[in-house]
Amino acid sequence: MRSTTSLSIVFSMFFSLILFSCNNENDFTDQSHFSEKILGKWVQIQSFDLVDATTNPTAWSWNDVEAGFTLELLKDNSFIYSVYGTCSTGSYRFNPTLQKIDFEFDCPIEIFGEMSQTLTEYFDMNFIQNQRIILEHASNSQTQKQAMSLMEKVR
């Protein structure tokens, strides 16, 4: 009888621990939490550029950018992205779990020598200030990673 009571207590404690650990009220991967934070207009303030591809590891450097490109993410999932010239609009899908944004442009764009209407960019965000994100520009084939941009929120 005593072992049954002890087993019941242990089971109850274990079950309670599981219930409390599943609370996700402060989970930063919540879609709405991220979605609201990425909305707005962003301007490129730094770029991560290849310095020397012959070294191991490859040498890269952060450089300040004057009059950088802009990215505006609107609440209706449309965007305005000035980096690709005349084709700058379309719709986007946001994936907070993978920290990526999938862009579907209204017309073809050239990226890293390829023509495409789709683009995926990965990002990292400063949660404390919510004023900067880093975008990683990658080719659609995902075979090589390209430069990154530090973006600052302007509105």
* C-alpha to C-alpha distance for 145 and 130, rounded to whole angstroms: 25
* C-alpha to C-alpha distance for 43 and 3, rounded to whole angstroms: 65
Nearest to 103 by CA among 143, 130, 74, 68: 74
In a domain, 73, yes or no: yes
Q: Exposed/middle/buried for 119, CB within 10 Å: 0-12, 13-18, 19+?
A: buried
In a domain, 19, yes or no: no
Residue 118: which CATH number? 2.40.128
Q: How far is CA 80 from CA 43, 72, 90, in A?
A: 12, 5, 7
pLDDT of residue 12: 42
pLDDT of residue 127: 56
pLDDT of residue 131: 83
In a domain, 91, yes or no: yes
In a domain, 12, yes or no: no
* C-alpha to C-alpha distance for 8 and 89, rounded to whole angstroms: 61
In a domain, 10, yes or no: no
In a domain, 48, yes or no: yes
pLDDT of residue 17: 38
What total of structural domains would you count in the chain? 1
**For residue 77, what are the domain limits?**
29-153
Phi, psi of 129 (to 5 degrees): -100, -25
State pLDDT tens for residues 58-98. 788 888 999 999 999 999 999 999 988 889 999 999 898 88
**Residue ranges of the chain with pLDDT lower than 70?**
1-35, 126-130, 138-146
